[in-house]
């Protein structure tokens, strides 16, 4: 019970933070149903629930037809303080009381005061829950405290992808950019993205979840540490999680940077929901929430289910080797609070490279909110191929990035040659460690003298020599092929990271 109240309180705090920069305009959007669309995919697109679309349009089931016009409200209720009256939330499969609290930014006791007889442990699908508005947060106003960034649309961008990258919703983008047509954005168009004053609003924060499955010997604090998140965050993302009682095989949600897409899965002979769920790394209740009206005990062969998967709308492919390959459907590295991009024309990578590079800097910024901005130099060209003066950087998996060092100012790090003793090991290691622990990289090239200093600092700070021995080439000598962190000439101004081939890229060569 104690944990529950804390989470509801946290959610309220979050709402207050958001209220300071969310626009007050809450215009409805009209969506015209296109061929092949289902309620689930439309809901995913606007970041709302199927049950909400049904309620806003008086739909009694999940049938829609091509050309039908659907009203989509700004359903994330971030600006609920602005409207009056009350909202009725109809409980959907997978809903929890805490999830509802979190969603509407209210506390459990408020929910109970508005709904007599509400048993927080026993809500049922279809149950109607009243949410009063304007009662919760006192602060409703003023965008003056919020700062904004301007994002320039790059080739291949979709609005949904941009929203996902910045941890905001499509509705928010539309409220910050009048006249923005989600189906028609053009290269070079400037899009305003509001962010709060600090990391609390986290414009770099991801918007969807990956699942971690508990293995033997895990503790929640250990999982949090390895994933680079806090215990509080884990509890926020997993309202039913009891920190003292996790069990083998339990699935824990972790917010991820990757955008989601909805796929259609055709039920095969012998399928049952549990098997389909585990094959797609989702839960049965998630499948039910994406497919309202499906009876879990009676799914029939040939039936199409909506399933959300993380990953981009257009998968990229790294083809061949870093020294002679190419890149298909790459993505351009977007802005991020942790770095600045020097030449965006030379900053393309695979979806995974972009995601993992950003995730690393998000991790550093979460742990060290004051970490200065780093200069990111070359990745690859849009289609890969030779990029002078590099030999590699051809297949969308390489990046040259400046070091954290002792001459950085409070806000940024100059791209310059450094000596070993000028490396900021604490910040640099946080980044490397994140990529290495999560098994995301093939190599990092670091000047041998800088390696030496890092190893010395890390041993002093208690990192095991045995682990360092597996990671660093130092002290074996700078010509010995060993360790994931290795010497290559020319790496005093920057390190070079080569991300691993992604499982799905069958033509990628390491
Ligand atoms: Zn390089």
Q: In this predicted model, what pLDDT tens digit does every residue of 411-453 receive, in sequence order?
A: 999 999 999 999 999 999 999 999 998 889 999 999 999 999 9
What's the CA-to-centroid distance between 495 and ligand 1, angstroms? Answer: 7
**What is the CATH class of 208-256?**
alpha beta
**What is the CATH class of 144-195?**
alpha beta
Distances (CA, A) of 156 to 33, 59, 159, 263, 457: 23, 35, 10, 20, 43
- Establish whether the linkage from the previous residue to 475 is cis, with ω within 30° of 0: yes
What per-residue confidence (pLDDT) applies to 81? 30
Residues of the chain with CATH 3.10.350.10: 2-132, 144-195, 208-256, 260-310
Helical H segments across 105-209, by residue range: 108-114, 159-166, 170-176
Fold of 2-132: Membrane-bound Lytic Murein Transglycosylase D; Chain A (3.10.350)
What's the CA-to-centroid distance between 215 and ligand 1, angstroms? Answer: 37
What's the CA-to-centroid distance between 390 and ligand 1, angstroms? Answer: 6
What's the CA-to-centroid distance between 405 and ligand 1, angstroms? Answer: 19
Q: Which of 358, 123, 341, 367 is nearest to 230 (CA)?
A: 367
What's the CA-to-centroid distance between 494 and ligand 1, angstroms? Answer: 8
What's the CA-to-centroid distance between 389 and ligand 1, angstroms? Answer: 9
Residues of the chain with CATH 3.30.1380.10: 317-499
Domain 317-499 listed as CATH 1.10.3210.10 = no
- What DSSP character marks residue 495? E
What's the CA-to-centroid distance between 465 and ligand 1, angstroms? Answer: 28
How does pLDDT run along the chain (510 residues), one tens digit per residue? Answer: 333 333 333 233 222 222 222 222 335 677 777 766 778 777 766 666 777 888 888 887 778 887 888 888 753 333 333 234 677 777 776 677 777 766 766 767 777 777 877 777 778 777 888 887 643 332 222 222 235 677 888 777 777 767 766 666 666 777 778 778 777 788 888 888 875 322 233 333 334 667 778 888 888 888 887 666 778 888 888 888 888 888 888 888 887 655 566 778 889 888 888 888 877 777 788 888 888 888 888 888 999 998 887 666 677 899 999 999 999 999 889 888 899 999 999 999 998 899 889 889 988 988 898 999 999 999 999 999 999 999 999 999 999 999 999 999 999 999 999 999 999 999 999 999 999 988 899 999 999 999 999 999 999 999 999 999 999 999 999 999 999 999 999 999 999 999 999 877 889 999
Report how far residue 393's alpha carbon sits from residue 384's, in angstroms, rounded to the nearest whole number.
Answer: 7
**Bridge-partner residues for 265, per DSSP?**
305
What's the CA-to-centroid distance between 262 and ligand 1, angstroms? Answer: 36
What's the CA-to-centroid distance between 217 and ligand 1, angstroms? Answer: 39
What's the CA-to-centroid distance between 445 and ligand 1, angstroms? Answer: 8
Q: In this predicted model, what pLDDT tens digit does every residue of 202-220 receive, in sequence order?
A: 333 334 667 778 888 888 8
Contact partners, residue 173, CB within 8 Å, separation at least 6: 159, 162, 163, 180, 191, 193
**3-class secondary structure, 267:** coil
- CATH no. of 260-310: 3.10.350.10
Provide the b/e sequence for 175-194 (b: ≥16 CB within 10 Å).
bbbeebebeebeeeeebebb
């Amino acid at each position: 019970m104690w944990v529950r109240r804390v989470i509801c309180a946290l959610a309220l705090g979050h709402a207050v933070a958001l209220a300071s920069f969310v626009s007050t305009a809450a215009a409805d959007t009209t969506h015209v149903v296109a061929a092949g669309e289902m309620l689930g995919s439309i809901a995913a697109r606007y970041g709302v629930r199927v049950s909400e679309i049904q309620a806003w349009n008086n739909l009694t089931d999940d049938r829609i037809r091509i050309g039908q016009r659907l009203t989509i409200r700004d359903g994330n209720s971030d600006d609920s303080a602005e409207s009056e009256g009350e909202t009725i939330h109809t409980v959907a499969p997978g809903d929890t009381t805490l999830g509802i609290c979190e969603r509407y930014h209210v506390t459990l006791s408020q929910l109970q005061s508005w709904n007599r007889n509400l048993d927080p442990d026993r809500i049922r699908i279809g149950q109607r829950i009243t949410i009063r508005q304007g009662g919760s947060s006192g602060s409703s106003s003023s965008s003056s405290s919020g700062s904004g960034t301007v994002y320039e649309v790059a080739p291949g961008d979709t609005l949904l992808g941009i929203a996902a990258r910045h941890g905001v919703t499509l509705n928010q983008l539309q409220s910050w950019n009048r006249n923005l047509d989600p189906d028609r954005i053009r290269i070079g168009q400037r899009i305003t993205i509001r962010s709060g004053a600090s990391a609390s609003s986290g414009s770099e924060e991801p918007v969807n979840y990956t699942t971690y499955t508990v293995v033997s010997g895990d503790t929640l604090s250990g999982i949090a540490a390895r994933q680079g998140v806090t215990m509080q965050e884990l509890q926020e993302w997993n309202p039913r999680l009891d920190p003292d009682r996790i069990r083998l095989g339990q699935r824990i949600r972790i917010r991820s940077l990757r955008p989601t897409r909805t796929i259609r899965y055709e039920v095969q002979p012998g399928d049952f929901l549990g098997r389909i769920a585990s094959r797609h790394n989702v839960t049965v209740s998630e499948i039910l929430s994406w497919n309202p009206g499906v009876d879990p005990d009676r799914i029939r062969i040939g039936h199409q289910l909506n399933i959300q998967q993380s990953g981009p709308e257009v998968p990229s492919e790294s083809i061949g080797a870093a020294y002679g390959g190419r890149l298909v459907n790459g993505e351009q590295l977007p802005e991020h609070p942790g770095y600045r991009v020097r030449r965006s024309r030379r900053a393309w990578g695979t979806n995974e490279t972009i995601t993992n590079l950003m995730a690393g800097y998000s991790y550093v910024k979460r742990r060290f909110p004051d970490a200065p901005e780093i200069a990111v130099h070359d990745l690859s060209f849009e289609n890969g191929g030779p990029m002078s003066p590099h030999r590699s950087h051809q297949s969308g998996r390489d990046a040259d990035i400046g070091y954290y060092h002792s001459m950085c100012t409070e806000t940024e790090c100059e791209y310059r040659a450094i000596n070993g003793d000028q490396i900021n090991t604490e910040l640099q290691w946080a980044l490397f460690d994140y990529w290495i622990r999560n098994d995301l990289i093939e190599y990092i090239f670091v000047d041998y003298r800088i390696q030496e200093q890092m190893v010395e600092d890390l041993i002093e700070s208690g990192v095991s020599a045995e682990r360092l021995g597996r990671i660093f080439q130092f002290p074996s000598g700078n010509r010995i092929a060993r360790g994931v962190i290795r010497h290559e000439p020319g790496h005093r101004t920057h390190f070079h990271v080569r991300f691993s081939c992604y499982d799905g890229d069958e033509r990628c060569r390491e």
